[in-house]
């Protein structure tokens, strides 16, 4: 039974947390319970958390780029939970409400925040990005306006998928996808699959998923893509030529999204996009790569980056789930108990699962 259907006694809630001490070394720790520090904050009992590639990366390597885990850090940032307490200024939520948690809190004062691009805030406090703790814990304190009430027909499990869906929403917004356009998505992991689904919701009529793993492409075809292509060990130009032939896009695709972070896939992207088309980098792989800059110049490609999510992205992600336009349930391979968190990380690392959810420490599976 979801906790939402029970009366929640905050004092009875465990704050057991899944802590990364150093690469490969994780422990369960009963940590001090957070409290409401600001009148606009709420306290949420975490019900479900998905595992992101970045969590696995920290677990294996202890760092992503310049973010280095120096002190023990609680992992996880893709969560949904149930409100147990609200601060005196909170009007939008009440105890018992089920919410998707947006896990990054900007300063609200810098020029980026004031321009509505709060994902670029240099003082962002983002869950499970060192030095900040994540949401694989019992209780989470957050500003109420970063907690999104789930509609009645959206489960808490689906709520945990709002985060990666918001990443995809932001990428597709950056790509300015229009009805009737063709979109090639490089990578058919959770982010690539969700980009394909959001592009479809935006009206794209030809959606090509590209990956190196056939089973992922089979899933993508069944999920929403109109075409799939298994990338070959040939030059990026030859892979691009084959994609264009397969999808009957002789001039190239209107939009190409990289959701793999892989160098060959990024190179192929520039060769597969049409003259004057748009390319968006969503994948995060190597910091520096060889990039076909001349092709980009000659084609007048519009290239954009995409980082996390900003104004309106979470709301749209929730709405895409509520309206049935993106069926995130299909991405959930399974749910494990909190104590099985490390096994779940292992399964994601080995590629056995698309999305595994870890139940909160107070949740029965
Ligand atoms: N921009 C952001 O804010 C943001 C947020 C979350 C995740 N990400 C990044 O997005 C990417 C996708 O995330 P995910 O969770 O789906 O990861 P994932 O690892 O599950 O998916 C990546 C996919 O790319 C495929 N791939 C690898 N090499 C390829 C190649 N040469 N051609 C085509 N496909 C190839 C892999 O087989 C895999 O299916 C990751 O790089 C992740 O770090 C970015
Ligand atoms: O979905 C959000 C991403 O996983 C994070 O930005 C992470 O990749 C870096 O902190």
Ligand 2 touching residue 129 (CB < 6 A): yes
Ligand 1 touching residue 306 (CB < 6 A): yes
pLDDT digit string, tens, across residues 246-280: 999 999 999 999 999 999 999 999 999 999 999 99
Identify which of 43, 75, 79 has the alpha carbon closest to the alpha carbon of residue 62: 75
Ligand 2 touching residue 167 (CB < 6 A): yes
pLDDT digit string, tens, across residues 322-345: 999 999 999 999 999 999 999 999
267 DSSP β-pair partners: none
- Dist. CA 128 → ligand 2 center (Å): 9
- Dist. CA 302 → ligand 2 center (Å): 24
Q: Is the ipTM reported for this complex over the cut 0.90? A: yes
Atom of ligand 1 nearest to the CA of 54: 43
| pTM, full prediction | 0.97
pLDDT digit string, tens, across residues 60-72: 999 998 899 999 9
**Rg, the chain, Cα only:** 20
- Dist. CA 191 → ligand 1 center (Å): 7
Cα–Cα distance for residue pair 261/135, rounded to 1 Å: 25
Closest C-alpha to ligand 1, atom 23: 187
- Dist. CA 236 → ligand 2 center (Å): 27
- Dist. CA 130 → ligand 2 center (Å): 11
Residue 117 has pLDDT above 50, yes or no: yes
H or E stretch at 142: strand 139-143
Query: What is the β-pairing status of strands 206-211 and 227-230?
Result: parallel
Query: What is the β-pairing status of strands 25-30 and 332-336?
Result: unpaired
Residue 253: partners with Cβ closer than 8 Å, 6 or more residues away? 182, 183, 184, 206, 208, 243, 244, 247, 272, 273, 274, 277
């Amino acid at each position: 039974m979801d906790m939402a259907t029970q009366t929640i006694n905050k004092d009875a809630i465990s704050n057991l947390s899944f802590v990364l001490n150093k690469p490969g070394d994780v422990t369960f720790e009963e940590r001090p319970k957070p409290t409401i520090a600001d009148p606009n904050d709420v306290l949420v009992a975490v019900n479900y958390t998905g595992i992101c590639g970045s969590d696995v990366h920290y677990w294996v390597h202890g760092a992503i780029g310049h973010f280095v885990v120096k002190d023990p850090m609680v992992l996880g940032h893709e969560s949904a939970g149930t409100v147990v307490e609200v601060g005196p200024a909170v009007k939008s939520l009440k105890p018992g409400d089920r919410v998707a948690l947006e896990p990054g809190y900007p300063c609200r004062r810098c020029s980026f925040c004031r321009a509505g691009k709060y994902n670029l805030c240099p003082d962002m406090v983002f869950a499970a990005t060192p030095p900040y703790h994540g949401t694989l814990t019992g209780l989470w304190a957050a500003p109420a306006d970063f907690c999104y009430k789930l509609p009645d027909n959206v489960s808490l499990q689906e709520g945990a998928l709002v985060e990666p869906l918001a990443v995809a929403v932001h990428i597709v917004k950056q790509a300015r996808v229009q009805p009737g356009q063709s979109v090639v998505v490089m990578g058919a992991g959770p982010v690539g699959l969700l980009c394909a689904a959001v592009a479809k919701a935006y009206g794209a009529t030809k959606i090509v998923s590209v990956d190196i793993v056939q089973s992922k492409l089979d899933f993508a075809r069944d999920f929403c893509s109109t075409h799939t292509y298994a990338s070959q060990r040939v030059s990026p130009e030859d892979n691009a030529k084959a994609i264009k032939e397969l999808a009957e896009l002789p001039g190239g695709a209107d939009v190409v999204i990289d959701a793999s972070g892989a160098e060959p896939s990024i190179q192929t992207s520039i060769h597969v996009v049409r003259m004057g088309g748009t390319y968006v980098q969503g994948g995060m792989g190597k910091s520096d790569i060889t990039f076909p800059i001349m092709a980009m110049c000659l084609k007048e490609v519009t290239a954009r980056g995409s980082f996390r999510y900003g104004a309106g992205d979470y709301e749209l992600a929730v709405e895409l789930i509520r309206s049935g336009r993106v069926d995130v349930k299909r991405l959930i391979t399974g749910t494990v108990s909190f104590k099985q968190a490390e096994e779940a990380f292992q399964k994601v690392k080995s590629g056995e699962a698309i999305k595994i959810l870890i139940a909160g420490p107070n949740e029965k599976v």
